[in-house]
Amino acid sequence: MNVLLVAGARPNFMKIAPIYRASLLYGSVRCSIVHTGQHYDREMSGTFFEELEIPEPAYSLNAGSGSHAVQTAAVMVAFEQVCLQEKPDLVMVVGDVNSTLACSIVAKKCGITVAHVEAGLRSFDLAMPEEINRMVTDAISDLFFVTEESGADNLLREGKAPGAIHAVGHVMVDNLLRQVERLSLQDVGNFQGYSLKQRGKPYLFLTLHRPSNVDRREVFQGIAAAINTLAADRSVVFPVHPRTRSMMEAHGISLSQRVVLLPPLGYREALYLWKDAECVLTDSGGLQEETTALGVPCVTIRENTERPVTVEMGTNVLAGVTADRIVAGYRESLEKRSSATVPPLWDGKASERIWQVLAGQPAGIETP
Ligand code: UD1
């Protein structure tokens, strides 16, 4: 089986890493990584290939940044050539970024089977570009690997065949558990947060990059007010996404001196900081899940989540974007910690289950 495994943006790399590694257990599978180049800076992309132990991509499409149409089109044009040349049996896409959408459309129109990993998640908010990407990708995919029950429920409601939906757990948790182990064996003395952690005081870990949060001045100012309130008696570590950095300058956002601004961090350096944070505040999709997997309190700075299991079972509190609700969410998240649990199958074996399904072996949980 000849498989093209697609990654383009930062949150994709941690998902393809365990899938790629598990493919090596199958002699009959040739799995080639395609990097679309949606993210291209070293901190956004390059470091991930080294740390996550993934080989250099077989294909680099260098699509780069641009408007949604420009970026999606650049990926599509380049990926079509790869599909025509490789003639794969299967194209596997992960997550919900523009590269996921672009490559699933191209593959399907070339008559290639498409598998979507992390399928079925829905925020029901079409103002989110990722929601459009999720819906379109799922509309044309042939195989659906889901991370939580809501994913299967959404796909069934949308008329997908139960036999095409496979609850396998979460490949991102596969990677997370491996990286926690790797980190415990690593010298962290040169990590950017090392001295801050050495002080032994509680600190918060913040990430913010969603256009809906950073592009509008009044929304970003409200979030900044909450962060400054929380920073009154503790440090806040804030690795800043390139989009957020430019919006901070454009809007003149001012943050307390206790907010430690860092460049985007590699996977392990970020993990080193957030896994021991008192609480993570984020608008990322992935961190909502990773914090639940490790039992770290999390406040999601959004009005909705496509990952409801993290709120229902895990440590996640959905706080919205206003200052008072974010501060209240922080308090609630600390209380929630003791009752939180880890969702079913988030056990580090999702990637193995995916290949078992593709090899025709029973794996995961059958959908009803
Ligand atoms: C993308 C994903 C989002 C994901 C996020 C993680 C879509 C629609 N969005 O958003 O779901 O959560 O990645 O980071 O696919 N830039 C750089 N260097 C880079 C890449 C980007 O400086 O290596 C800057 C550019 O100015 C670019 C901007 O960041 O225009 C936005 O990048 P883009 O990939 O379009 O979207 P993200 O906001 O990163």
Average pLDDT estimate for 315-328: 98
Q: Is the CB of 11 under 6 A from ligand 1?
A: yes
Between the CA of 131 and the centroid of ligand 1 the distance, in Å, is: 15
- Closest C-alpha to ligand 1, atom 11: 97
Q: How confident is the model at residue 361 (pLDDT cuts 50, 70, 90)?
A: confident
- At 327-347, the pLDDT tens digits run 999 999 999 999 999 999 999
pLDDT score at 44: 83
Angstrom distance (rounded) from CA 220 to CA 223: 5
Average pLDDT estimate for 211-215: 96
In the chain, the domains with their CATH numbers are: 2-169+349-366 (3.40.50.2000), 189-336 (3.40.50.2000)
- At 92-123, the pLDDT tens digits run 999 999 999 999 999 999 999 999 999 999 99
Q: Is the CB of 209 under 6 A from ligand 1?
A: yes
Active site residue 209: yes
Q: How confident is the model at residue 305 (pLDDT cuts 50, 70, 90)?
A: very high
Average pLDDT estimate for 252-279: 96
Q: Is the CB of 65 under 6 A from ligand 1?
A: yes
Q: Which of 45, 133, 209, 243 to mutate to test the pocket of ligand 1 (most atoms within 8 A of CB)?
A: 243
Q: Is the CB of 44 under 6 A from ligand 1?
A: yes
Q: Is the CB of 130 under 6 A from ligand 1?
A: yes
- In what helix (H) or strand (E) does residue 334 lie, and over which residues does it extend? helix 323-336
- At 178-188, the pLDDT tens digits run 999 999 999 99
Inform me whether the pLDDT recorded for 354 exceeds 90: yes
Q: What is the number of the ligand 1 atom nearest to the C-alpha of 98?
A: 15
Angstrom distance (rounded) from CA 209 to CA 228: 18
Q: What is the number of the ligand 1 atom nearest to the C-alpha of 285?
A: 12
Between the CA of 163 and the centroid of ligand 1 the distance, in Å, is: 34
pLDDT score at 366: 55
Q: What is the number of the ligand 1 atom nearest to the C-alpha of 246?
A: 26
Given 39, 116, 170, 209, which residue is catalytic? Answer: 209
Inform me whether the pLDDT recorded for 198 exceeds 50: yes
Between the CA of 283 and the centroid of ligand 1 the distance, in Å, is: 14
User: Would you state the structure tokens that stand for residue 305, as one six-digit string?
Assistant: 């989540």
pLDDT score at 262: 96
pLDDT score at 368: 46
Q: How confident is the model at residue 364 (pLDDT cuts 50, 70, 90)?
A: low
What 8-state DSSP symbol labels residue 163? G
pTM: 0.96
Angstrom distance (rounded) from CA 121 to CA 129: 13
Q: Is the CB of 9 under 6 A from ligand 1?
A: yes
Buried b (16+ CB within 10 A) or exposed e, 28-38: ebebbbbbbbb
Q: Is the CB of 136 under 6 A from ligand 1?
A: no
Buried b (16+ CB within 10 A) or exposed e, 180-212: beebeeeeeeebbbeebbeeeeebbbbbbbbeb
Between the CA of 368 and the centroid of ligand 1 the distance, in Å, is: 37
Inform me whether the pLDDT recorded for 43 exceeds 90: no
Average pLDDT estimate for 139-159: 98
